[in-house]
Copies of this chain bind each other. A is one copy, B any other.
């Protein structure tokens, strides 16, 4: 039996990082992941210097157990968090590092990992965008832009259903944004088919559960603010818009993207509106999707006129797609659902790992 892959996770104390850790602990082809926290020497800590990375509660010995932060993990087994140390990672033979960290942290750490020959799957937005104008929203410095230019080029946008050919050899995989995954997968087949009248605009009205907003307490994520509510936010200004545009080769003016905050913990439903160039039969649309996603295990195309709902893909790595065509045959609505923490984050990261190491795409994900 072959030795299992040695991996590490930084950021297991966040929602995506926890989900990732859970998936990796069950994955048959990897060793129990090394769980990392920021280094003890705080002055030299890139995370600390940026004021990021709250300290999780330590026990008397300065040890931190992930199960103390997430008691759902408690009971059987220990999950100590070690300070990040490159030499220690090399010594342990870690080949692949998952970053479930804020984008500034990922931006700082990926070059360090790359310099040491450690492959990275980064769940932040730091390395997803090729075009500087799209990256601008992240506020990287000019210096950073110069330093990171080569790695930015090398980074592969880790959407397996689109970029499955580039992922196996990638050293840096930029794991897609949760919203972006639903919207890109909904639109890619149609845009490739040439059926869409791009002149008339594309609209993605997306609704996400609260875990997508992260674990940091704020007035916006207070239970009383979210429950019995729905709100739209970041209109024309959400970070995922750039990813959608780049991956679909659209100008940002061609896509209107409106995220909403749903009163549920997790799950995304995107309702996507396009106009077709001419009146079309539903069967042609369904064929377009089925052909495009043939052999893609984690995209489920619903038989017309069935539509996916958020519940159907919760706790799975599926992105579910369904559609409805107007009686005029021109107005098309696509409904796209996923679990934002799995296909929208941790599950897709595992899927990317599976491709990077030549394993079955589904390994550890069923």
Contact = CB atoms under 8 A, between A and B. Distances in A.
Interface residues of A, number: 71
A76 B264 CA distance: 27
A273 interface: yes
Contact of A300 (B75, B228, B266): B75
Contacts of A223: 210, 221-223, 225-227, 263, 265
A170 interface: no
A308 interface: yes
Interface in A58-77: 71-72, 74-76
B215 A224 contact: yes
Nearest to A203: B273
A295 to B, nearest CB: 11
Interface of A: 15, 26, 71-72, 74-76, 200-201, 203, 205, 207, 210-211, 215, 217-219, 221-233, 235-236, 253, 256, 258, 260, 262-267, 269, 271, 273, 275, 297, 300, 302, 306-316, 318, 320, 324, 326-328, 331, 333, 335, 366
B265 A228 contact: yes
Contacts of A72: 311-314, 316
Given A72-B312, A200-B201, A227 B331 contact: no
Given A26-B366, A229-B267, A236-B327, 12 more contacts: A72-B311, A72-B313, A211-B224, A217-B218, A221-B223, A225-B311, A227-B263, A228-B265, A230-B264, A258-B333, A262-B262, A263-B264
A229 B326 contact: no
Contacts of A302: 71, 74
A200 B275 CA distance: 9
Contacts of A335: 232
Contacts of A313: 72
26 contacts: A71-B302, A71-B308, A71-B309, A72-B312, A75-B318, A75-B320, A76-B300, A200-B201, A221-B222, A221-B224, A222-B223, A223-B263, A223-B265, A227-B265, A230-B262, A230-B309, A231-B269, A231-B307, A232-B333, A232-B335, A256-B273, A256-B326, A256-B333, A262-B263, A263-B264, A315-B315
